Structure 1
């Protein structure tokens, strides 16, 4: 077993392969794939009637484009030399993939909350994705180049200093680390504190019961049904008992034994196809309405298709053949606490899915309205949360050794984020031009 000193030395040794200052460079290679070709390739396995909706959502802003183009940035990051210091990556660590949610103990936590692209890979890929999203958000909100650079710098600095602090802790101390939502209020001042408190309060109200009241109604026969809102929410035909039984049996087997007993206390009521997110639009996603002791005891579950990670072409083979299991295991490894109904199953067409509660006090920030000061505060929080997540799976001591005590890495990644924000703007403009020319069909307004 290597000592902490040896692990730190391993991190410093990685600087010879990839100097910290080298992370500041972004020069697209002549072989860089056309971003629209990358997006079209992704669309081939999606529901064709929803692909225009995906493009419509991506066309709203440069930040929305960044959210939907994880595959584009994955290819760009993979074209650069990497440290080889591996963690369980979120894989899509932009600002809106952080947020609050309820732990099994009903404590509201702040953490990374999207794992569709999770895979083991070099830690800096997540850091660069986060910093680039900070820069893109800053420019979209009207910040100057200097303020955008400062915001990205703050996110990276927070990651580095948090990782160095975690490197000094014992294994269990690191594992038990968490960020409680109530701890966020001291970080903000004045009117912004009131807005954060309001968003936390709203998140606490986002439960299965709230979703039940919003998304369902009683039909003429007195039965509860999900309310349709095409194309965003469409009921699916009644599922035959054999198919339904297979679906639940497969999912049930992925849960711990005590959760299986809990699931068995609910009965199936209704299901619908639901459109979610930006980058996920077109993947197969469903919501299920279940009922417990009576019709006032609902549970709403979300079933989301899990395709191959956008990082997969550039990294060693995953340990999991089942993509739903990949997502679930990555989430359980990375988050401080995870949904008690988190599980996976294989669908009737041999597609892979993962399950979770539709709403369990989940909430996210309104990045588009943040002032420069608030964006910096939020960027710092996200950098801290990302370091905590990485420290659970990677060698935090080696990463801390690589990062060091100076701000060399911070400034380099901040420089990269500005350059990549410019690349993202060019790619976003290319999408807009393709839509205007009729080469890409986009459905606006949904």
Structure 2
């Protein structure tokens, strides 16, 4: 497998400025490399054995430690759940779980967590997942009962005011707000991009009960994530409930084909476009969907429009990497969230019913096999990252 060519081909057509940021991030450590190369992971994943014998379920398609976080739902309440569905597809749950455990092992290498502790975290994740699946009942994380890092994230979001949030991304000029173009979260747009996004929002607003809410005040190219860096993506500042302190921030992101789905094409439903797939499965798998979640089409491309979700609302691994007890608690909650998402979406468009998932959870043999597979995959990711790093340092990933 020629790693360099596969990565270059997978990233063709992306915005050069943000693609350069992606390649740089992937060079920083093996965990960032894993996040930026979902396509390589599924190319590497064995398609027989444990992966073949498991039932089918709806998967987020890119399960790793940083694709969980807190957010405000469309009911304005705060939730913690899986929060990225760009790669969502129908697949054996073992595909999803193996990527998650691989991310635990690889992040341990990046954040100086011992191999022994990483294995314990992986085992805790699987045990929590299986126990939640065995109940056959989809639940959700509640602020009153959860503890540790997850509770901190929920409290942090609950207490954050709209002005505080706006001030992290925008600045006031003559009582109007504009994006802070710092090269870290936002970059300037061209006039053509600004015009296209503004016209789209005008069309979208005309279909909504309160079109004045969606009046565009500013547009920027958004910098967020690792895997999606370089994909066409915009942060949009809209009037909301009034300027300057009741404005809202929206995220408009191009939807691309799923890396997971391409290995299972015969079992995937027919979607009108990729954005419909992403939004449908996000609504299906989350306990409560994020605010302003819509699949939209601009020309020949489809996009997901939703409330802008800041990176700060994700689990701060770097901060807690030496607190194993805290990490244990959070991976247990993550395991529950995955099980609940699968139960919530069970029996839909080809996915296994709850009884089949319960039967899967009752079996024990697959758990050990899955852990062994993920350990092997994590070593492969580290080797691939070393190959990538050498090529990056030699200039193979210079973006012109």
> How many angstroms does 1:360 deviate by?
7.9
In structure 1, the residue matched to 2:261 is 312
Q: Secondary structure at the match of 1:117?
A: coil
Which of these residues, 86, 91, 96, is aligned with residue 56 of structure 2? 86
In structure 2, the residue matched to 1:275 is 223
Shift in alpha-carbon separation, 1:196–1:83, aligned structure 2, 3 A: closer
Matched, 1:178 2:140: yes
Q: Greater relative contact order: 1 or 2 (C-alpha under 8 angstroms, separation 6 or more)?
A: 1
Aligned counterparts of 1:391 and 1:37: Cα–Cα separation in 2: 38
Q: Is the 8 A contact 1:283 1:305 kept in 2?
A: yes
Aligned counterparts of 1:397 and 1:120: Cα–Cα separation in 2: 17
> How many angstroms does 1:324 deviate by?
1.2
Q: Secondary structure at the match of 1:50?
A: helix
Q: Is the 8 A contact 2:201 2:216 kept in 1?
A: no
In structure 2, the residue matched to 1:124 is 94
Aligned counterparts of 2:226 and 2:311: Cα–Cα separation in 1: 21
Which of these residues, 96, 112, 115, is aligned with residue 82 of structure 2? 112
> How many angstroms does 1:114 deviate by?
0.4
Aligned counterparts of 2:196 and 2:391: Cα–Cα separation in 1: 42
Aligned counterparts of 1:143 and 1:215: Cα–Cα separation in 2: 33
> How many angstroms does 1:223 deviate by?
4.0
> How many angstroms does 1:245 deviate by?
6.7
Aligned counterparts of 1:228 and 1:234: Cα–Cα separation in 2: 5
> How many angstroms does 1:111 deviate by?
0.8
Which of these residues, 179, 192, 210, is aligned with residue 226 of structure 1? 179
Which of these residues, 305, 309, 333, is aligned with residue 355 of structure 1? 305
Matched, 1:404 2:358: no
Shift in alpha-carbon separation, 1:433–1:163, aligned structure 2, 3 A: same
Count residues in correspondence.
387
Which of these residues, 412, 423, 435, is aligned with residue 392 of structure 2? 435
Shift in alpha-carbon separation, 1:231–1:416, aligned structure 2, 3 A: same
Q: Deviation above 6 Å: which 4+ runs of structure 1?
A: 239-242
- 1:130-169 maps to which residues of 2 (within 5 A)? 130-166=100-136, 169=137
In structure 1, the residue matched to 2:342 is 390
In structure 2, the residue matched to 1:380 is 332
Q: Is the 8 A contact 1:85 1:122 kept in 2?
A: yes
In structure 1, the residue matched to 2:45 is 77
In structure 2, the residue matched to 1:45 is 13
> How many angstroms does 1:184 deviate by?
2.0
> How many angstroms does 1:124 deviate by?
1.3
CA RMSD of aligned residues (A): 2.7
In structure 2, the residue matched to 1:210 is 164
Structure 1 gaps of 5+ residues are 1-32, 186-192
Q: Secondary structure at the match of 1:183?
A: coil
Which of these residues, 31, 34, 45, is aligned with residue 2 of structure 2? 34
Structure 2 gaps of 5+ residues are 347-352
In structure 2, the residue matched to 1:6 is none
In structure 2, the residue matched to 1:200 is 154
